[in-house]
Structures are given as structure tokens and as C-alpha cells.
Structure 1
């Protein structure tokens, strides 16, 4: 008999009996629990849980079994097909290293995502998209076309049934309205120098100040620029012998790794929001 893999995520006010109730409902649906993680936030009093199960039951039957529990505990509940890759739209500009990291890991099976389209405000990376066989859409952006470009982007999101948007070195600031529209389903990457070294050539600014640590931060996109809930970070040590150009290369490598991990964890439904913070069952 074929068995389906599902991932159940939930959050609710913490109280006794949650795990018992969820486990009982999963048993009722004929589930075998393959992985289970829980966390109670001491700051918000919220209980979080992620459960990976195998069952012969269809998704609708599993959702029906969990519905009374979700209502009784005032849960925010999600049930996801563990074998279904997350449909992901990638946005980029001219730097293709992070884009290449994502597309290569997707092709090799490391990232459980499907990329139906790449969107860019420049045409530089269209050949890379063609190499990976992904449709490329050029949406130029300036002060007079930003609203039109963002409206077209949302059309593409709907047209391709996009579940996640990834900003892979997309060098444009999204409007507040677009950030709200994509809340919880758009991930950005930036270097870790913020707020110290803003604007152009941050690695050169950092080199001039003799920094000893460089890194990257992957976070959900919000209207507050580069201040969304953090999913993943990485830092590496550097010293005086590194040139500014070497810092750039090392930094781009860190950015690529950090973004790929964040996308993987999101696609595996391992990231739950706890206010301005995240709970990551990695």
C-alpha cells in the first residue's frame, strides 16, 4: 500500500495536553510519526510543533482528524505534502553567484523547490536561466515603472502558483504594499555588515575599517528594510592579509550558503514565526 509523507506544523498558546491531543489525532488517521520537534517560547508563551508523518490516508483525511484539536487549542495549523517541492520564484539583478547556487542545488536535489520562473530588473542573467532551462522574465524598474513592475510580479506569482519568492541579490527595494502581500513567503539575503556599512561597495568599506568577521543574514522580507525575522546567519573570520576583492568573494560564498539553507528550511516547513523572531526546527 502506498504511503504518503506529510508535514504538520502548528502554533498555539501553551497549555498541558497539546502533544497528547495531536498524537492521538495522528494515530486516528493511521499515521506513523517519523520526526517530531516541539518548542515553548518563554517570551510569548506560544507552543510550536513540527511533525513529519507517514500514512496511507489522504491529506483531507489527516486535516479532518486534526481539525477538532486545532479548534480546541486555538491552533494555527498547517498540513503539507512532504513529497511536493515548493514552487519558488527567484528574483535577481546582475550578480549571478547566489542565483547559481540556488539553481544548482535545486537541480541536484538538495533544495526541495521547483523554479517555474526567474524575474530580473536586468537581462544579464538570462543566459544562466537558459542554461538551467528556467523561463526568464525581464521587469525593468525605475521611479516611474516600479508600481507597474510589482503588479506584473504579483501576476506572475498567481500565474505560476508561486509559494515562495527568493531575492537572490535583487538590488531593488520592494514597496511596503508588496512586502505585506508577500509576508512570510519572501526571503532575502544581505551581508552582515548592516547597519555599519550601508550602500555601495560594503565589502570595500569593511576592508578599509579592518573588519575581522564577515558573514550573511537570510531573513523574511518585511516593510522594515533588512529587519525581517531572521532565518539563518553565518560568519567567517578574516584577517589583514585579505584584499577587498577577496572579501567580496568570500562574502558571496557565505551569502550563497546562508540563503540556500534558509530556503531549504522554509521549503521543508521547518521555520515558524514567533512575532519578530523565528523558530527553526533544523
Structure 2
């Protein structure tokens, strides 16, 4: 089956991001006109074997109507295998947990991936890895061993699940990050999560996880993206006064989601 260039681009970005809204697709430059993009998506959803599907959501009391989320189907995966050499194709296996509990947090995590893909499109580097907390490996049905790809197990058998694990090739070397996207204003929850990250950092857990695929990496940083600047400020003030973090300055960096969306992923990250 022949497909248009714009249709293939839609499928390729869905394979990378797993889920995308129309706004995110427009940010990636798939089409400049929202109405044209919506018509393209609607047409693809009505093919005999639709390569994409979408889920509609209701309204949020604060944000208003929520955008629909698009994703690949099995037919879309097959089309990509026939028309491209993409190795890793991401799509949901069923829709039992499709955004119902964490719409905003999941969308914001993907917004950050979109910002990195924008940098890639500008020729500033290559996004080699963006695994998220909703990417699973293993199989609960046959082996009861499904787990998040970003799960980091500590030496005391406790664990944390990073919102994303990133490997970026800046055309000189690899930059590795554990990403946390913080919605809400619960600074106590943020601090507890960051202390676990401090433990994982001291034990080199993420480096050990990535070494089989990226044998030349040596270290990484923890990037904290905040929905609310006030939460970022309060958390960073408290960490700066905590002697346990004295030797970790520079490993923890923060930025607001609004700034990433306005000015791009790189630059202006703040240490405490």
C-alpha cells in the first residue's frame, strides 16, 4: 500500500512518541494548518485497516476540553515495517490504562520529548533514547515479569521509576538524563523522590542499566521539570539548605515546563 509523505511522517512520529495530540503534531511541523491535519488524521482513521486510532477525553474543570490522543494500531506498525527501516516502534497494547489516570502528567512528559525532537529537526543533535514510565518490558500474561523500562532498583531493594530516561547525542558525546515531570505543588513528594534519585546516582544504577546499549556513558544528571515555578523555587531553596546534597550540586537541574515550551529544551537549567 502506498502512503503519502505526510501520512508516513505522522506514523513515524507516533512510533517514536507512542502518543501524540494534534497540538504536539503541529509542534513537530507535520502540518502548519490544524484543520488540514485533523482532516488527514480523520481520513487515516477511516481506512479499511486504520493505521492510527485515537481516544477522546472529557473536560477538565480547570483546563477545559482535553485534546484527543492518537496512537499507532497493529496495521500502522505493519505499514511502518513495510515502508521504513525503523527498528523500535512504540504503540500501546490495548487501552486499559490509556491516559485515564494521568492525562496531564503523561501529556507533559511527551511535551518534553517533543521539545527534544524539535532540537533534532533543527540539526542540533539526535535523540537516541526517550524511555518513559509508561513503556513496559517483559510480559505479565506469560511470565509475570512486566516492569517499567525506567525502573531503577536500589541496593536496599527499594526502587524508583523515573518519568523518563534520555540519551541525547549532541554530535560530540552522549548526554544522559533521568527526567522527572512534577505536576502540582507538593514539595514534600518532590523531595522524597529526589532523595531516591540521589541514592540511585551514588550507586550508578542508571549507568549500569544503560551500559549494555551505550557502553561509553559515564554519568548522568537528574532533570526536574516543574509545572509550577513556585514549586520549583520552594524545592530548590530547601535542597540548597540540606547538607546531604552539598556534593550533588550540578547533578540536579530544574526548569519550568513553560520555559521549555517557549525557549526549547537546552539552556537555562538551574542548579540549587
Report the TM range for the smaller structure's normalisation: under 0.3
Q: Report the TM-score, using the length of structure 2 for normalisation.
A: 0.26
- Determine which structure has the larger strand proportion and give its number: 1
In our comparison, the structure showing a higher alpha carbon Rg is: 1
The structure with higher relative contact order (CA 8 Å, sep 6+) is 1
- Determine which structure has the larger helix proportion and give its number: 2
Q: Report the TM-score, using the length of structure 1 for normalisation.
A: 0.25
